[in-house]
Structure 1
Amino acid sequence: MSKKLKLAALVVAGVAGGAWWASQPEANLPPSLSTAAEAQTAAATSEAALVPDMVLGQEDAAVTVIEYASFTCPHCQNFHETVFDQLKADYIDTGKIRFVYREVYFDKFGLWAAMVARCGGAEKYFGISDMIYDTQKEWLAAENEAGIADKLRKIGLKAGIAPDALDACLKDNDMAKAMVANYQTNATNDEITGTPSFIIDGQKYSNMSYEDFAKILDEKLAN
């Protein structure tokens, strides 16, 4: 069963301004989720500029698929492990669909993972995302928040992000707030209630197998 979204329950846990958490002596931690009220102070145009959609496929593809997913969601991890690669080979790489990935933040750890993925820019985003999903159980199993932050940082370093650049990304509380605001706006507009969820040419679908996904896409491509 998909994890339910709780848009109104985004929590601030000790973050003020652009400062990192320092609650753990062994490490500084990235920002927490901002409250909905704080996040909504960002202007919509500013959000769009700071937090662009991450996209695969041709801009003029006949069908657009939007996935809403969380890096901490096991159902999302399973989709990317069992469905996404074949979907990419058969429909994205062949120019049939345009694929848009939108992050959902159930918790601060999903936000931190997304900040690491975005730190590499659009060129590295999906590669880093694959690394995050492939090792989801490992980094989520860390003993504490500092351990999770450290494991996510190591993923970014392994992906080739320079240490200073990675630290700057993880310290960017303004970006974190914009990411949360952008997530809330998109998820509210598309009435997202669980992950993974998909918007296929404006119609919402829940998690599904590759066979079911392909059937829907083939029907839309035939129209």
Structure 2
Amino acid sequence: MILTRRTFSALLSMTGLVALAGLSPLRLIGSAFAQSQSAADVAKPSPLGDMALGPENASVTIVEYASMTCPHCAAFTTEVFPKLKAAYIDTGKVRFIFREFPLDLVAAAGSMMARCIAKNDAQKYFAVVDVLFKQQTDWVVKNPIEPLKRIGKQAGLSDEAFNACLKDQAILDGIKATQDHATDKLKVNSTPSFFVNGTLVKGETSFEGFQKLIDPLLKA
């Protein structure tokens, strides 16, 4: 099925949206990971523009691919990311890039809303993503639209703007293109997936695990 504004809007109106996760047009293909990835392929930004924290000239760049409905992604954001931010990002040692990799239509809706609220403001984007992950169990439900709207209102997004956001084909296409690139070029097939200066780190990883990867790169 080709993901278009018409099909996406129709699916969003269905009460059984979450049940369609396995039939999502954003469904992954392939399962093999390459041993190494092209630095240029990892560095290629989202068509919507990368959302990043930390200086561009940082010694280490971490790229995360995450789905807003992924519980392991939520655990990383709430438990590990604050430590990474304090120790490495806020100190200018690491640049952290978050890229959307929705595993289902509900995740796509959450990602679209975050983009609409933040526009080009990375700080605001990360704040919205943080709220969505922390409140994941509240909106990843059978009828996700109303709880998503409530979260959007807290960030200043009106019902009218929310509805317009989920009909914005350009945003949806950008998210889909980001996922396609990760799947086809980087062989990402699960979330969260991280690239630390191009080295793949697959799955939920502890702060200490990241330390072991980051610290040698800072000394190099």
User: Smaller-chain TM-score range?
Assistant: 0.7 to 0.9
- Tell me: CA distance 1:94–1:178, structure 2 relative to 1, closer, same or farther (3 Å): same
Structure-1 separation of matches of 2:12 and 2:134: 29
Change (3 A) 1:177 1:33: farther
Question: Which of 165, 171, 183 lines up with 2:167 in the alignment?
Answer: 171
In 2, Cα distance between the equivalents of 1:75 and 1:85? 15
Aligned counterpart for 1:211 among listed residues 188, 208, 213: 208
Q: Counterpart of 2:195 in 1: which secondary structure? A: strand
Kindly provide the amino acid, as one letter, of the partner of residue 183 in structure 1.
Answer: Q
Aligned-partner residue type, residue 165 of structure 2: C
Distance 2:175 2:86 in 1: 29
Output the amino acid matched with 2:99. R
Structure 1 match to 2:92: 95
- Amino acid aligned to 1:186: A
Gaps of 5+ in 1: 1-10, 27-31, 37-46
For 1:44, the equivalent position in structure 2 comes to none
Report which stretch shifted further, 191-200 or 95-104: 191-200
**RMSD of equivalent CA atoms:** 2.7
State the identity %: 35
For 1:136-215, list aligned pairs within 5 A: 136-141=136-141, 144=142, 147-206=143-202, 207-215=204-212
SS of equivalent residue, structure 1 residue 195: coil
What is the SS of the residue equivalent to 1:77?
A: helix
Q: Which of 36, 48, 56 is the equivalent residue of 1:51?
A: 48
Q: Shift of residue 138 of structure 1?
A: 1.3
Q: Which runs of 5+ in 2 are unaligned?
A: 16-22, 28-43
CA distance 1:94–1:23, change in 2 (3 Å): closer
Moved runs in structure 1, 4+ residues, more than 6 A? none
Are the counterparts in 2 of residues 105 and 183 from structure 1 also a CA contact under 8 Å? yes
Task: Report the residue type matching 1:140 in the other structure.
Answer: V
| Structure 1 SS opposite 2:56 | coil
Of stretches 60-69 and 153-162 in structure 1, the one that deviates more from structure 2 is: 153-162
Query: Which amino acid in 2 is paired with 1:171?
Result: K
Q: Report the Cα distance in structure 2 between the residues aligned to 1:156 and 1:188, rounded to whole angstroms.
A: 32
Number of residues of Structure 1 aligned to a counterpart in Structure 2: 193
Alignment of 1:99-114 (within 5 A): 99-114=96-111
Q: Structure 2 length as normaliser, TM-score?
A: 0.78
Q: Does the aligned pair in 1 maintain the 2:62–2:97 contact within 8 Å?
A: yes
- 1:128 corresponds in structure 2 to 128
Q: Where in structure 2 are the equivalents of 1:29-40 lying within 5 Å?
A: 34=25
Structure 1 residue 79: Cα displacement:
0.7
TM-score (structure 1 length as normaliser): 0.77
Deviation at 1:57, TM superposition (A): 0.7
SS at match of 2:120: helix
